[in-house]
Copies of this chain bind each other. A is one copy, B any other.
Amino acid sequence: MKLNIALLAGDGIGPEVIDQAVKVSNAVAKKFNHEISWTPALTGAAAIDAVGVPYPDETHEVCANADAVLFGAIGHPRFDNDPSAKVRPEQGLLKMRQKLGLFANVRPTFTFPSLIDKSPLKRDRIEGTDLIILRELTGGVYFGERGRKDDGDTAFDTMTYQRFEVERLARKGFEMALKRGKKLCCVDKANVLEASRLWRETVQALEKEYPDVEVTYEFVDAVAMRLIQWPKGYDVIITANLFGDILTDEASVISGSMGLMPSSSVGSKVSLYEPIHGSYPQAAGKDIANPLATVLSAAMLFEDLNLTDEAQTIRDVVNKSLAEGIVTEDLADGGKSYKTSEVGDWLASNI
């Protein structure tokens, strides 16, 4: 099979972790007789520096014409504490999600047998956790009108949802649930927000089409609590963009390391795969970042292209590296640790 993958390294540790995912993917391609052609393109602060905008049209062309997009991370501290910055790396991410029609962010949460004791949570609370958060990604307060009034003294953002946006996400959730634990939890704040009431209404109307799925409705504040108390209670969670942003990061705590969690963003023709961690600027250029989340994102990419054995090969070699302690310093517990590039090399050569 010939694969054409857009490669968006982005900022901070993005380029370093992406490099390892490329090595591993190439090794898998070789083993299974595929040919991958990688097309790099600019995004984030790197794109702002080079061409003035965080998601250039050329980058969009590259992505739109690819079979899939592999993405690193974007964001740079120089923009974060400057409330008046006009162009921001994050705008590139939002524009990309919107222009590529990536309306659903899929974030699995699971534990790694060899790492379970690294979690801040007790073993009996998390062992066996297997949940997916499906976050709406192209609507809500991320994309509503925003601005200032009263000489800049009043700021507003608008949280908007349309019925079709909720419905297409919810259907994905129902379908996922059918293939898994058959439980769907709609997370909202319907006791306060009108947009949440539209969510609840829309999901309720779909219930009868999926009689085999058990549906529950919970408030986001309660879920922020229960997700930590008893993550095994959840199977598939569907939620709005902002709530999903918060809950998916929170859920990453369960596995013990953000450096391990992959994600995919899907919706239309092309899908995007990225680690859930950010650009981690403090570590940039030091060859110390954990590449596994990006490597496992590549596994999701293969899986979605129905290359199941290829995906499993990646997961197996990752588990092997963890079991044998071939890990970056964040997982080394003060013991022997390896560089980002060394972990990538080890994985590639063990495939």
Chain B nearest CB from A116 CB (Å) reads 12
Contacts of A160 in B (CB 8 A): 154-156
A222 contacts B249, C-beta separation under 8 Å: yes
B154 contacts A163, C-beta separation under 8 Å: yes
| A134-164 CB contacts (< 8 Å) to partner B | 141-142, 144, 146-148, 150, 152-164
State the CA gap A148–B164 with chains docked (Å).
14
B204 contacts A141, C-beta separation under 8 Å: no
State the CA gap A246–B218 with chains docked (Å).
13
A80 CB within 8 Å of chain B = yes
A81 CB within 8 Å of chain B = yes
A189 CB within 8 Å of chain B = yes
A41 CB within 8 Å of chain B = no
A242 CB within 8 Å of chain B = yes
Chain B nearest CB from A257 CB (Å) reads 10
B228 contacts A228, C-beta separation under 8 Å: yes
Q: State how many copies of this chain the complex holds.
A: 2
Chain B nearest CB from A276 CB (Å) reads 10
State the CA gap A245–B249 with chains docked (Å).
17
B228 contacts A249, C-beta separation under 8 Å: no
Contacts of A144 in B (CB 8 A): 156
B246 contacts A224, C-beta separation under 8 Å: yes
A159's nearest neighbour on chain B, judged by CB, is: B157
A225 contacts B197, C-beta separation under 8 Å: no
A200 CB within 8 Å of chain B = yes
Chain B nearest CB from A101 CB (Å) reads 19
**Counting chain B CB atoms within 10 Å of each CB, which of A148, A150, A152, A249 scores highest?**
A249
- Assuming the A-B contacts A157-B159, A246-B220, A246-B221, are A194 and B228 also in contact, with contact meaning beta carbons closer than 8 angstroms in the complex? no
A98 CB within 8 Å of chain B = no
Interface of A is mostly: helix
Chain B nearest CB from A117 CB (Å) reads 9
State the CA gap A193–B145 with chains docked (Å).
10
Contact with B along A108-139 (1 / 0, CB 8 A): 00000000000011100100000000000000
Contact with B along A248-281 (1 / 0, CB 8 A): 1110110000100000000000000000001000
A1 CB within 8 Å of chain B = no
Contacts of A201 in B (CB 8 A): 83-84
Partner of A120, one of B94, B162, B224, B229: B229
List residues of A whose CB falls within 8 A of some B CB: 75, 79-81, 83-84, 88, 90, 94, 120-122, 125, 141-142, 144, 146-148, 150, 152-164, 189-195, 197-198, 200-201, 204, 217, 220-222, 224-225, 228-230, 242-243, 245-250, 252-253, 258, 278
Beyond contacts A154-B163, A225-B252: 17 other A-B pairs, Cβ-Cβ < 8 A, are A83-B190, A84-B201, A120-B122, A142-B192, A146-B194, A148-B194, A152-B198, A154-B160, A155-B160, A155-B195, A158-B159, A189-B242, A221-B248, A221-B249, A224-B246, A228-B253, A250-B250
A-B contact pairs, 9 of them (CB 8 A): A75-B191, A81-B200, A88-B191, A152-B198, A156-B160, A156-B161, A157-B159, A158-B158, A228-B250
